[in-house]
Every structure is written in C-alpha cells, then in structure tokens.
Amino acid sequence: MPELVALHIADPPELWRALGFAVADDAFFVSGVRHQLAADGVGLTSWELGGIDHFDELPTTRGGPAVEACAARHPNGVTALDHVVVMTPDLGRTVTALEGTGLALRRTRQAGTPERPMTQAFFKLGDVVLEVVGSPDAVTPGPARFWGLTFTVDDFEATVLRLGRQLRPAKAAVQAGRRIATVDRAVGSSVPIAFMSARPRRD
C-alpha cells in the first residue's frame, strides 16, 4: 500500500518560514512527510511514495519509510498535513490508476457550480487525505497535476492572529464544525495553501 513520504515544492524556504513553519536545511516535516523546498519548477512539483516505484499520473519517485525526522514545533500551530489536492482532466483515468496502486476510493463528493460541476474523489495515503478533483463528465487530454495543500492547526484563532494579512478571511470549511483560511496570493507562494481547524471532538 503506497504511503506519502515527501513532497517537493518550488518555493524559497524563507517564504514558508515566514508562514510559521520550522524550516531547517530547506525542508520541514508534518505528519511524517518531508516537505522539501527550493525544488526546480513551479508549485508542488512531485512526490515520493513508499511502496511503489512509478506512477504514470503524477511525477513520482520511490521513497523510504515515512518518519518524523524533525520534531520541531511549528510556530504557526500546524500539527498535521490534512490533505493534498490533485487536479485531473480525466477523473476516471486518475481514479483507476490510483486504485491500481492498491489505494481504495473512500468516497466522492459533488462540488463546483451548475455551470462547471466538479467531483472530488478521496483516498488515504496513511494519515493524509488525497483529494482528486475533476469534471464528472468532461474528459480532456493531458496529465493530472498537483495543486494545493491544507494543514491542520491546534489553535485556529491563534494561527489566524499570528499570520494576519498573509491570510484571506477565515470561513466555514466544507467539513462540518471546522474553519479554514487560505494564504493570500500576494504572499507569493506557487502552491495554494490553507490552514484548517482541528476536527471536532466526539463525546
């Protein structure tokens, strides 16, 4: 079963450090996943997966076991990598390819607008959710691509206060009982980033 080991991000380390991540040697760790900065290219460029050598849909290399190699607390309050978002021009193809690696499709959700409907398909890579987004009907040529990252924080209000104008106004998340705030584009990251409150506790 594949597990997420590392993500390669083409942003300067100082940008993520300014967002409150504990960056050391151009990398930081969340949920045992190494976030390697200063990669060549633009955006979230590739990932490392344990358990498979190759994956046609996305730039992939084989990684070793995921470990929490950096125990430093993140000043922004991040405690987990909640989910990784992938966009695809052919949802059926990408879902089939992921299932072919041994991952199970957990559920789907209809999103978008009446004019531009979208389907979200959810998988789990260890503790991290993989959200694959594409049209439920239209199919166009081209590869899937990495899109964005959402992190869980332990004190949402404290994170919003700390990051201030680096964030867009907070709002209710799709997940019931949770709040989300996205990083403003003016910050300059080539990756859409969001911070989300923790899941409500169940009595």
Q: Which residues of 95-118 are buried (b: 16+ CB within 10 A; e: fewer)?
A: bebbeebebeeeeeeeeeeeeeee
Distance in angstroms (rounded) separating the CA atoms of residues 119 and 109: 6
> What is the reported pLDDT for 65?
64
Give residue 201's pLDDT band: very low, low, confident or very high (50, 70, 90).
Answer: confident
Predicted structure pTM score: 0.93
> What is the reported pLDDT for 112?
86
Q: Is pLDDT above 70 for 130?
A: yes
The more confidently predicted of residues 170 and 63 is 170
Q: Which two tokens stand for residue 161?
A: 């206060």
Could you tell me the domains of the chain?
3-197 (3.10.180.10)
Q: Which two tokens stand for residue 128?
A: 């991290």
What average pLDDT does this structure show over 56-65?
87
Mean pLDDT of the chain: 93
> What is the reported pLDDT for 12?
98
What average pLDDT does this structure show over 27-37?
94
